[in-house]
Amino acid sequence: MGTDTNLTSTLVSETDVLRAAYNRTSYVGTIEFLGAPNNFLNAESLFQAANVAEEFDQMGARALVLCSEGKHFSAGANFGIGPAEGQRVDLYEQGIRLIGQPLPMVAAVQGGSVGGGVGLALVADLRVASPESYFWINFSRLGFHHGFGLSVTLPRVVGQQAALELLMSSRRIGGEEALKIGLVDEITEADHIRERAVARAAEIAQNGPLATRLIRATMRGDLAERAAAAMAAEKTIQDRLQHTRDFAEGTASIRERRPAAFTGL
């Protein structure tokens, strides 16, 4: 299980990719990704996060906090090394497990959330960020199609039109604009993001746990099933685009910090 760190907090797990702790007084579990500075998405960390979320549920947790160490919440997929198709499938499967876990979740979103990193932030029910936080759904800038269920999770939070604009333009937005469109629920100073996320989770956890779980289930409905279907469709398109010249050009242009010269091939 873990090691008692004080009278109220238990370290549930600590590996190379994840740290998880449970506060038995506030009933809040914290899941922290340990991939600083960029916290790129990978199947192993999501697998462990989903396992820990299930363990917290069994321990009696009433709310979760999702966070990351270092400068950025998540820079999404590391296209510099190019994930294998099988790895991406597994990553999506673990993302679905996280979306489907039953406990209310608050994400502490510091620095950048890029690409699939925005999808990871949207796993949570509420998001706390700072004015310096930014969200960049940059798939079209890469000549690629979005993934991690953003087809479903993004319009659910910001609305269809705002989601369409963000996906097609690959426009980067800051914390204040994210708050305005509903992508973020609270803005605070950068140094206090995690503190406020924990406070939000504790506020939820002090209420009736059966009620909050069922409210969450009612409001989310069949989100996990729709996200799974969306990921399957997104993956099919990604597999097609991954082998195009435009995708090669898009990823090269990002690495070389220059405008892309897309040809539609």
Residue 82: the pLDDT is: 47
Residue numbers of the domain that contains 32: 3-192+206-255
Per-residue confidence (pLDDT) for residue 90, from 0 to 100:
85
Q: Print pLDDT tens along the chain (265 aa).
A: 343 444 577 898 899 999 999 999 999 999 999 999 999 999 999 999 999 999 999 999 999 999 999 999 999 988 655 444 444 458 899 999 999 999 999 999 999 999 999 999 999 999 999 999 999 999 999 999 999 999 999 999 999 999 999 999 999 999 999 999 999 999 999 999 999 999 999 999 999 999 999 999 999 999 999 999 999 999 999 999 999 999 999 999 988 999 999 999 9
Question: What is the reported pLDDT for 86?
Answer: 42
Look at residue 265 and tell me if it is in a domain: no
pTM of the entire predicted model: 0.92
Q: Decide if 118 is inside a domain.
A: yes
Domain contains 130: yes
In a domain, 262, yes or no: no
Residues 6+ apart with CB under 8 A from 104: 62, 63, 64, 125, 126, 201, 204, 205, 212, 213, 216
> Which pLDDT score, from 0 to 100, does residue 80 have?
59
Domain count, the chain: 1
Give the pLDDT confidence score for residue 54 in this predicted structure: 96
**Is 217 part of a structural domain of the chain?**
yes
Cis peptide bond N-terminal to 259, omega within 30: no
Q: In sequence order, which residues have a C-beta less than 8 Å from that of residue 20 and are 6 or more positions away?
A: 11, 12, 13, 14, 29, 30, 31, 32, 49, 52, 55, 56
Question: Is position 261 within any domain?
Answer: no
- Looking at residue 77, what is its pLDDT? 86
Judge whether 220 lies within some domain: yes
Which CATH number covers residue 124?
3.90.226.10
260 part of a folded domain: no
Cα separation, 14 vs 90, in Å, equals 22
The predicted structure's pLDDT at residue 1: 36
